[in-house]
Amino acid sequence: MNALEVAIRRKAYRQDGREVTALTDLVFAVPAGQLACIVGPSGCGKTTLLSIVAGLDRAFEGSVRGPAAAGRLGMVFQTPRLMPWLSVRENVRLALEPPPRQEGRAEELLREMQLGALLDAYPAQLSGGQQRRVALARAFVRDPDLLLLDEPFQSLDAPTAQHLRELLLALWARRRPAILFVTHDLREALSLGDRVLFLSAGPGRVVLDLPLDLPRPRGPESAAVEALRRRLLESYPDLLRGLASVSAAESAA
């Protein structure tokens, strides 16, 4: 069963009076429980795609079929986007319906994520890594069927980012939502995903759909990921610029 089916024929928006096409013929599906990464050059419409999937943007041609129930979608943005006037616990409770009146899932999850001592702290008192952990908790607390992540760990130092990736994988392993993880970092995508979808430069469409069956755990700096990355870039030298044309060496072989 698919947790997400995307068939966007065309998505355009107006900028300075001109019409810009952001996405064309973007078609893919994510099966339940799969961790799919999306990689593409900047400006390829990754964030637009997530807005459409999240239901924030409905002005497009085509169809998106996601989780039917509203509570079954979680999202983590590029920045933590916590409410500064709510405590850590209240920020996570925000995602629960009906609003809880006593200790429960939110606190349980936060304690699991080593945030138990900060339940009543405000976001401004937290480090960047802690804020992102809270944002992750807010997305996971309602046990989503589909989780959208929009470059959630960028602008963090490498050890913190890696720690959060491991945390994400641990939560995913336990609750198994389908995940759509958008990034521009090929190493990150290869180390996390069951599958990597490469998008073209804008207007974005899928140029390569790469299944991965490397064993986990595999860090972004691990030998297996590095070898795969090399091989991939040898075969498709322009992949990160959104082109999956086969290299001369490859086609000669």
Q: Which is nearer to another protein, 127 or 245 (CB)?
A: 127
204 within 8 A of 244, measured Cβ to Cβ = no
Q: Which of residues 139-168 bind another protein (CB under 8 A)?
A: none
The yes or no reply on residue 73 touching another protein (CB under 8 A) is: yes
Q: Out of 75, 115, 168, 182, which residue is the one contacting another protein (CB under 8 A)?
A: 75
Site size toward another protein (CB under 8 A) is 21
Dist. CA 157–CA 213, nearest whole Å: 28
Residue from 59, 124, 223, 253 touching another protein (CB under 8 A): that is: 124
H-helix or E-strand spanning residue 130:
helix 128-140
Measured CA to CA, the distance from residue 180 to residue 153 in angstroms comes to 14
* By the rule CB under 8 A, 79 interacts with another protein: yes
Q: Is 83 in the site for another protein (CB under 8 A)?
A: yes
81 binding another protein? (CB under 8 A):
yes
CB of 251 to another protein, least distance (A): 44
Rounded to the nearest angstrom, the gap between the alpha carbon of residue 98 and the centroid of all alpha carbons in its chain is 26
The CA distance from 111 to 107, in Å, is 6
Indicate which single residue of 44, 54, 149, 186 sits in contact with another protein (rule: CB under 8 A). Answer: 54
Contact 219, 225 (CB under 8 A): yes
Please tell me the distance from the alpha carbon of residue 116 to that of residue 141, in angstroms, as a whole number.
Answer: 15
Three-point CA angle 67, 69, 73, nearest 5°: 55
Cα atoms in the 13 Å half-sphere on the side-chain side of 218: 21
Choice between 55 and 104, CB closer to another protein: 55
Q: Tell me how far, at minimum, the Cβ of 162 lies from another protein, in Å.
A: 26
* CB of 122 vs another protein, minimal distance in Å: 5
Site membership for another protein, residue 4 (CB under 8 A): no
Select from 94, 156, 240, 243 the one that contacts another protein (CB under 8 A): 94
Cα–Cα distance measured from residue 199 to residue 201, given in angstroms and rounded to the nearest whole number: 7
Are the CB atoms for 178 and 145 separated by under 8 Å?
Answer: yes
Q: Greatest CA span in the chain, whole angstroms?
A: 67
Of 124 and 253, nearer to another protein (C-beta) is 124
Among 21, 27, 56, 230, binds another protein (CB under 8 A): 56
Task: Kindly state the DSSP code that residue 116 receives in the 8-state scheme.
Answer: G
Asked if 12 touches another protein (CB under 8 A), the answer is no
Q: Which residues bind another protein (CB under 8 A)?
A: 54-56, 70-71, 73, 75, 77, 79, 81, 83-86, 90, 94-95, 97, 99, 122, 124
